[in-house]
Amino acid sequence: MNNRNLAGAVPDVALKPRYLPFVDGKFTASSDEVFPAVNPATGEHLADLTRGNSRDIDAAVAAATAAFPSWAATRVEERCAMLLKLADALEGDAERLALIDSLDIGRRVFETTIDHTIAVGQFRFFAAAAVTHSGWNRSIPGGWALAKREPYGVCGQIIPWNVPAIMTAFKIAPALAAGNTVVLKPDENASLSTMELCAHVAEIFPPGVVNVVPGFGEEAGAALTAHPGVAKLAFTGSSEVGRLVSHAGAERLVPVTLELGGKSPNIVFPDVQDLDALVDNVAFAATYCNGQSCLAGTRLFVHDDVYDRFLGKLVEAFRRMKVGSPLDPATTISCLVSGEQGEKVLGYVDIGRNEGAELLVGGNRVAVPGNEHGWFVEPTLFAVDNQMRIAQEEIFGPVLSVLRWNDFDTMIAEANDVRYGLAAGLYTNDLANAMRAADALQAGSVWVNQYFNMVDGSPFGGHKESGIGSELCAETLNMYTHLKSVTLAAQLPQPFYLPPAA
């Protein structure tokens, strides 16, 4: 492998030539068909991945089904101790795994390192939360009424390519903590770090508890969502595919949780004083992960009173960002995940121009020395009308739409006037502004004065077409269990139903 940063160093990440599905505690495959993992920045071949098919899914579900009774019966303290061991193993391997993600998806190492820190936190959080996760009980005359929480069984999980370490943890940790077994399909554009994680899983968990099958959505993904042995589905990705997963669940009447797209508003009130700090956080909200984030604050509402001063600073900040190699520590914006994604983003830039939006900065593909294969897109800023497509549709790239506002009710109406409702941000020194706006915004998460301010234990989920259910929090354990009602009477009641004997 020859993946060099600008200084010429070659990161040693010890990738395997080929990755097989991880089924029943070992790496095995039903066929020799593979697809390549390619560095999106350089075009270099990283490894081959088995193209998982329905037979691999069948084997994985069978292994998870066989493992489920024993795993569900394992004391919660033991299950959680294993999650803590996995967190420790992931933490010890985080530097290497973060490099693998950077090579695999084109994001800068600074960001993928944060991803693995968040992933470690999720395994530890659910290891703690599961110990106190319980149902309900109350006393009744002559006994007790209670409801106990029980795992569903085999959980089929599908994750996207943008933050593979986080998504893997978001799915696996609560499912295992609650006593379920798992069959996970990583995205075909970002499977390497998840497959590497399986080596740690094999050392810690019983065979069959965690199974991972790489492959394509229309093959392995479709087989997983339709499989009669899967008792629950969980998906993160686009709203369009989310509908397909939801339909698959409805066909078999199994529960489905979805974390889908977003077009999140970020609101600047006129009382904000530190415009430089504000510019920094707004730029971070829009371009972190190269804008390839469902959470991104991609619609910026700026009040008239500060619009001109703030916008001048924001344009200058976008020009100051460095577009460069994912392995260069000085890089701010790195490579999009694929040529397809790059063409989509630049297509939206053209749409914005054609709609009459004012292009303030950016909008071009950039050639980065040594990474000419990659799709590097400048951080891009448009002044828009809220009804324009670039203000309504999820772009998944470093493109920010700016809107001017002066009336609170009109601004809130426009902020909510999209089909999504995943996240929102706002900046104000006035508590009344913060509370009023937070109540009015149709979003699963509202961050005040710091965008992306996610904390282990705080619910994360969407309204409207942004999904169903919450991740990251204790409530997530409820989504991976169902309630069984048990009523206990101390003794038989006095006869009351049948006529007395003759």
Domain assignment of residue 297, yes or no: yes
Domain assignment of residue 95, yes or no: yes
Contacts for 365 with CB less than 8 Å, ≥ 6 apart: 342, 346, 375, 376, 377, 378
Q: Are residues 250 and 364 both part of a single domain?
A: no
Taking residue 238's Cβ as centre, other Cβ atoms within 10 Å add up to 15
CATH code of the domain covering residue 295: 3.40.309.10
Q: Three-state SS string across 324-391, please?
A: CCCCCCCCCECCCCCHHHHHHHHHHHHHHHHHCCEEEECCCEECCCCCCCCCEECCEEEECCCCCHHH
Q: Are residues 87 and 201 both part of a single domain?
A: yes
Domain assignment of residue 99, yes or no: yes
Q: What is the pLDDT of residue 21?
A: 98
Q: Is 130 left (phi over 0), alpha (psi -120 to 50) or beta?
A: alpha
**Burial class of residue 387 in the structure, from the number of CB atoms within 10 Å of its CB (0-12 exposed, 13-18 middle, 19+ buried):** exposed
In 3D, which of 424, 406, 405 has the Cα closest to residue 416?
Answer: 424
Among the options 198, 294, 335, 473, which is catalytic?
294
Q: Are residues 368 and 478 both part of a single domain?
A: no
- Structural domain count of the chain: 2
**Is position 473 annotated as part of the catalytic site?**
no
Provide φ and ψ at 326, rounded to 5°.
Answer: -60, -25
Q: What is the pLDDT of residue 2?
A: 40
Q: What is the pLDDT of residue 9?
A: 52
Q: Are residues 255 and 287 both part of a single domain?
A: no
Domain assignment of residue 89, yes or no: yes
**Is position 80 annotated as part of the catalytic site?**
no
Q: Are residues 434 and 337 both part of a single domain?
A: yes
Which residue, chain included where needed, has tokens 């104000």? 428
Compute the C-alpha angle 264/266/272, nearest 5°.
Answer: 170
Range of the domain at 227: 19-40+47-260+466-485
CA-CA distance, 383 to 361, in Å (whole number)? 10
CATH code of the domain covering residue 36: 3.40.605.10
Q: Are residues 308 and 367 both part of a single domain?
A: yes
The pTM of this model reads 0.95
Q: Are residues 283 and 331 both part of a single domain?
A: yes
Q: Are residues 231 and 318 both part of a single domain?
A: no
Domain assignment of residue 140, yes or no: yes
Q: Are residues 314 and 189 both part of a single domain?
A: no
Please write the tens of the pLDDT for every residue from 211-220: 999 999 999 9
- Contact by Cβ (8 Å): 27, 49: no
Domain assignment of residue 454, yes or no: no
What residues in the chain have per-residue pLDDT under 50?
A: 1-8
Q: Are residues 186 and 274 both part of a single domain?
A: no
Which residue, chain included where needed, has tokens 């969407």? 462
Contacts for 463 with CB less than 8 Å, ≥ 6 apart: 421, 422, 442, 443, 444
- Contact by Cβ (8 Å): 420, 462: yes
Q: Are residues 126 and 186 both part of a single domain?
A: yes
Q: Are residues 470 and 378 both part of a single domain?
A: no
Q: Are strands 154-158 and 45-50 parallel, antiparallel or unpaired?
A: unpaired
Among the options 259, 394, 414, 465, which is catalytic?
259
